[in-house]
């Protein structure tokens, strides 16, 4: 069974992990949503921006964390670097789903909105965003669940979180330590997945 | 005659609701509209009749500034569409399309009340207007107000589309094959409703169709478009006597 000191550390690292994921997702949504909306208005930016986000996704996560360390201002050892990496990972699903959600709005609906005299802003807030909401939320959901997993690697560059257990467990060949990191991470992922699927249902029409 | 072909340069009568003045529209190398000129007086219902690709929908979309002429001018109430505040122009024109285009996330009441709300009407006036309009198009307000578009039949949705177009008391109504996707029985019901509203409200209307039967039934004037040109513009009674080949081709479908 788990010794009490482990439980205490588990609570602390789960908290750290949660904060890591929450800050990364907050930044990723704050950047990804407006950028995604911008992409619906400027088709010429789609290829470069989505290409960038795509490339970020293909870099193995451990390598991306490593690449960031020598970069000034955003790099170095610690939480900040970890958050930068996690944001870069989370960006693609949010960008892509925002774009797909808004472009997926029925042409007839958009045309009648314009013909009825909605301004650009009203079109966005009254029609496009509400109709794209389920798709956008699905993107945030995917990004969050992946980020919870990827955030365990943050420990490799001193970012803290549940990865601390996993790396320590691997180094000392201690399954209990690995599980102390993996189980709460998996539970966090399941919980947020469930939460988002509830929100998604509330926003969808049928 | 209420509508006539109009030559350039003659003075405008103040009673002109709208006018096409030498309008051409080009996309790439294709001439979609070719030097279209005509005018309509208030309260009339002009049918734009033509085959697919004749330019009738293009002509319609120029009236509410969804498209602008490559050459020439469109005048709505004696003012070129390019000189209008587009948002105000569009809010003063009701627009009904075949796909209806109701907002799926809005209730029927919210759909019909949208433009009045955006125009800043107080909520109780919007609500009263919505109820009045739903009743006018034959939908019991208490029954339909809080339903969503997906819970309605095609014919009911199109009735809501008409109510929505009328909501902000527009000066002009545009219809783009509104009844084209309906079954024949429902179509005739909606045509009857259209005639009833036409004669009661006397709003200037432009109605696009490729169905000559519908054109003869609903129009006070019929404009026949062929390859972007105006072939004939006359009353339904005169139209049936037209001798032009395109008019004959349409009349032979009767």
For A11-40, the pLDDT digits (tens) are: 999 999 999 999 999 999 999 999 999 999
- Residues, chain B: 254
Pairing of strands B79-80, B71-76: antiparallel
Facing residue for B95 by CB, picked from A112, A119, A127: A112
Q: pLDDT tens digits for A155-202? A: 988 889 999 999 999 999 999 999 999 999 999 999 999 999 999 888
Q: How far, in Å, CA of B121 to CA of B113, rounded?
A: 9
Nearest CA in chain B to A129: B105
Q: With cut-offs at 50, 70 and 90, classify the pLDDT of residue A1.
A: low
- Find residues 80-99 of chain B whose CB sits inside 8 Å of chain A: 86-93, 95, 97, 99
Q: What is the pLDDT of residues B118-150, one digit of tens each?
A: 999 999 999 999 999 999 999 999 999 999 999
Of B37, B45, B34, B48, the closest CA to residue B75 belongs to: B37
CA-based max dimension of chain B = 54
Window A:147-166, CB contacts with B under 8 Å:
none
For chain B, positions 159-178, list CB contacts with chain A under 8 A. 164
Judging contacts by C-beta atoms under 8 Å, the chain A residues touching residue B152 are none
pLDDT at position A51 over 50: yes
**A3 to chain B, minimum CA–CA distance in Å?**
53
How much of chain A is helix, strand and coil, in % rounded to 5?
Answer: 85, 0, 15
- Judged on CB neighbours under 10 Å (0-12, 13-18, 19+), B121 is middle
* A2: confidence class by pLDDT, cuts 50, 70, 90: low
Choosing among B81, B101, B176, which should be mutated to test the A contact, i.e. which has the most A CBs within 10 A? B101
Strands B45-49 and B229-234: unpaired
Report the Cα A148 to chain-centroid distance in Å: 8
For the cut 80, the answer to whether the pLDDT of residue B4 exceeds it is no
Q: Is the pLDDT of residue B9 over 70?
A: no
Looking at residue B147, its pLDDT comes to 96
What pLDDT, on a 0 to 100 scale, did the predictor assign at position B189? 94
Query: How far B118 CA sits from the closest chain A CA (Å)?
Result: 8
Distance CA B18, CA B43 (A): 11
Residue B230, by phi and psi: left (phi above 0), alpha (psi -120 to 50) or beta? beta
- Looking at residue B8, what is its pLDDT? 39
| pLDDT score of A206 | 54
**CA pseudo-torsion sign A85, A88, A89, A91:** positive
> Looking at residues A82-111, what average pLDDT do you find?
94
Q: How far is the C-alpha of B164 from the C-alpha of B152, rounded, in Å?
A: 15
pLDDT tens figures, B22-61: 999 999 889 999 999 999 999 999 999 999 999 999 999 9
Residue A189 and residue A199: Cα distance in Å, rounded?
15
> Is A111's CB within 8 Å of B118's CB?
no
Residue B179 has pLDDT above 50, yes or no: yes
pLDDT of the residue at A202? 87
CA atoms within 13 A on the CB side of B127: 5
Closest to B173 measured CA to CA, from A109, A115, A118, A111:
A115
What is the pLDDT of chain A when averaged over all its residues? Answer: 92
pLDDT-derived band at A75, boundaries 50, 70, 90: confident
DSSP state of B46: E
Contact B34, B229 (CB under 8 A): yes
Mean local confidence (pLDDT), B188-195: 95
Q: Is the pLDDT of residue A105 over 60?
A: yes
Token pair listed for A29: 């949504």
- Residue bearing the bigger pLDDT, B3 or A151: A151
d(CA A18, CA B228) in angstroms, rounded, equals 64
Asked if pLDDT for residue A53 goes beyond 60, the answer is yes
Which residues of chain A have a CB within 8 Å of the CB of B166? none
Burial B62-94, CB ≥16 within 10 A → b, else e = bbbbbbebeebbbbbbeeebeebebbebbbbbb
C-alpha dihedral (A89, A90, A92, A97), degrees to nearest 10:
160
């Amino acid at each position: 069974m788990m010794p009490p000191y482990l439980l205490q550390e588990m609570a602390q690292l789960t908290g750290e992990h949660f904060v890591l994921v929450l800050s990364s997702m907050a930044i990723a949504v704050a950047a990804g949503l407006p950028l995604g909306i911008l992409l619906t208005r400027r088709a010429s930016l789609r290829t470069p921006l989505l290409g960038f986000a795509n490339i970020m996704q293909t870099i193995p996560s451990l390598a991306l964390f490593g690449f960031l360390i020598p970069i000034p201002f955003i790099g170095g050892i610690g939480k900040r670097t970890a958050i930068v990496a996690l944001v870069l990972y989370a960006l693609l699903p949010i960008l892509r789903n925002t774009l797909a959600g808004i472009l997926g709005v029925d042409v007839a609906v958009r045309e009648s909105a314009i013909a009825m005299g909605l301004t650009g802003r009203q079109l966005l807030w009254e029609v496009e965003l509400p109709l794209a909401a389920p798709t956008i939320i699905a993107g945030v959901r995917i990004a969050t669940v992946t980020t919870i997993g990827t955030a365990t690697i943050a420990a490799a560059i001193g970012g803290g979180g549940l990865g601390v257990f996993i790396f320590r467990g691997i180094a000392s060949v201690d399954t209990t330590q690995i599980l102390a990191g993996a189980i709460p991470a998996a539970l966090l992922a399941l919980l947020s997945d469930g939460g988002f699927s509830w929100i998604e249902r509330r926003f969808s029409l049928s | 005659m209420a509508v006539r072909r109009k030559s350039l340069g003659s003075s405008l009568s103040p009673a002109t609701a709208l006018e096409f003045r030498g309008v051409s529209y080009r996309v790439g190398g294709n001439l979609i509209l070719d030097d279209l000129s005509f005018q309509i007086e208030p309260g009339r219902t002009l049918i734009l009749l033509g085959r697919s690709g004749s330019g009738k929908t293009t002509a319609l979309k120029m009236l509410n500034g969804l498209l602008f002429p490559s050459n020439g001018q469109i005048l709505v109430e004696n003012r070129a569409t390019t000189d209008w505040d587009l948002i105000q122009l569009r809010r003063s024109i009701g627009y009904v399309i075949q796909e209806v285009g109701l907002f799926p996330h809005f209730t029927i009441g919210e759909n019909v009340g949208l433009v009045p709300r955006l125009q800043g009407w107080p909520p109780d006036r919007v609500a009263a207007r919505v109820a009045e309009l739903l009743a006018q198009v034959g939908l019991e307000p208490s029954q339909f107000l809080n339903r969503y578009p997906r819970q309605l039949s095609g014919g009911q949705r199109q009735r809501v589309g008409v109510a929505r177009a009328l909501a902000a008391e527009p000066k002009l109504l545009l219809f783009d094959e509104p009844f084209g996707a309906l079954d024949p029985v429902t179509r005739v019901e909606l045509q009857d409703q259209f005639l009833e509203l036409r004669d009661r409200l006397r709003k200037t209307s432009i109605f696009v169709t490729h169905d000559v039967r519908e054109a003869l039934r609903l129009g006070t004037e019929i404009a026949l478009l062929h390859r972007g040109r105006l072939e004939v513009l006359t009353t339904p009674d005169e139209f049936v006597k037209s001798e032009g080949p395109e008019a004959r081709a349409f009349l032979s479908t009767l």
